[in-house]
């Protein structure tokens, strides 16, 4: 049997790691069902905050999600966007807020560097 491990900030190059994306999909389905909210909120401690944020950083938005948000709610999204890019608020019900803030700042800088390299606008802090 394969050993599942939690992904931290960076994946090992070429390593295949099994991941659970159920919580990411639940967040996307909620957004599609409820439209463009003023403050799209991610509840990142639905399963360990670093793991959730790492998955959000590496998971591209599904084309169907982008199309649904446009057709249902008139929300335009870049085809190269990651799940991380669409959340403007990160909520934490338990844990250390200072550590979450530090992790989100690091992740935001990482994403904006990647977006700039791809010729995309930066995401607001």
Q: Give the span between the Cα atoms of 44 and 104, in whole angstroms.
A: 11
The token pair that represents 76 in the structure block: 């335009």
Q: Give the span between the Cα atoms of 53 and 100, in whole angstroms.
A: 10
Q: Greater confidence, 7 or 91?
A: 91
Q: What angle do CA 95, 9, 18 make, to 5 degrees?
A: 95
Return mean pLDDT, the chain.
Answer: 78
Q: Greater confidence, 36 or 99?
A: 99
Q: Which of 83, 66, 87, 112 has the alpha carbon at shortest distance from 121?
A: 112
| pLDDT at residue 10, rounded to an integer | 45
Please say if the pLDDT value at position 72 is more than 60.
yes
The token pair that represents 105 in the structure block: 């700042």
| Own/partner pairs, 42-45, CB within 8 angstroms, 24+ separation | 42/87, 42/89, 42/90, 42/91, 43/91, 43/93, 44/90, 44/91, 44/92, 44/100, 45/92, 45/93, 45/94, 45/95
| pLDDT at residue 6, rounded to an integer | 40
């Amino acid at each position: 049997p394969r050993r599942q491990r939690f992904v931290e900030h960076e994946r090992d190059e070429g390593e295949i790691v099994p991941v659970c994306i159920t919580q990411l999909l639940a967040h996307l389905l909620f957004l599609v069902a409820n439209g463009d909210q003023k403050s799209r909120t991610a509840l990142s401690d639905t399963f360990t905050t670093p793991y959730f944020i790492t998955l959000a950083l590496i998971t591209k938005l599904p084309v169907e999600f982008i199309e649904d948000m446009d057709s249902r709610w008139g929300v335009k999204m870049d085809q190269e966007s990651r799940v991380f890019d669409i959340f403007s608020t990160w909520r934490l019900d338990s844990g250390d807020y200072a550590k979450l803030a530090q992790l989100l700042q690091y992740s935001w800088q990482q994403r904006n560097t990647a977006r700039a390299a791809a010729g995309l606008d930066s995401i607001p802090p």
